[in-house]
Amino acid sequence: MPIYEYECKECGFISGHLVMKPSDRRKLTCRSCEGKKLRKVMSRFAAHKTEAQRLDEYEPRNARGDSFYKDDRNIGLWAQKRAKEMGMDLGDSFKETLEKGRSRKILDNL
């Protein structure tokens, strides 16, 4: 899947976006402030990791600072990893909830 990371020029928030064609690029908005001035960034993490690799390498015992949660893909990894360890299938509804939770707006209320 052609998912690219874009940094918002207004607030600096980095979010991953699925870009299938050039017209998608122009419709992108920041998920934090809804600004439209985004620039493509190279991932601060290894560039071509799959969700599964990310999950495997994620270590819940490591200290997680604010920067960890600035990457909105990391939210929910803990729950996914625990579920995987216990052999649970969280199902599509969980993933949907997770996607909704992957926003700074919700994190700010924690």
- Residue range at the interface with Zn ion (CB under 5 A); choices 2-10, 49-57, 63-71, 75-83: 2-10
**Contact of 36 with 55, CB cutoff 8 Å:** no
- Using CB under 5 A as the binding rule, whether residue 13 contacts Zn ion is answered as yes
Among 7, 25, 29, 35, the residue binding Zn ion under the rule CB under 5 A is 35
Q: Tell me the two tokens of residue 21.
A: 């064609």
- Interface residue with Zn ion among 15, 32, 71, 80 (CB under 5 A) is 32
Among 8, 19, 28, 38, the residue binding Zn ion under the rule CB under 5 A is: 8
Region from 17-25, 32-40, 63-71, 100-108 binding Zn ion, contact rule CB under 5 A: 32-40
CA distances from 40 to 14, 43, 79 (A): 9, 9, 29
Distance, in Å, from the CA atom of 15 to the CA atom of 46, rounded to the nearest integer, reads: 15
Gap between the Cα atoms of 110 and 107, Å rounded:
5
For Zn ion, the closer of residues 8 and 80 by Cβ is 8
Pick from 4, 7, 25, 33 the residue near Zn ion by CB under 5 A: 33
Beta bridge partners of 14: 7
CB 70 within 8 A of CB 14: yes
- CB nearer to Zn ion: give 15 or 80: 15
User: Contact positions toward Zn ion, by CB under 5 A?
Assistant: 8, 10-11, 13, 30, 32-33, 35
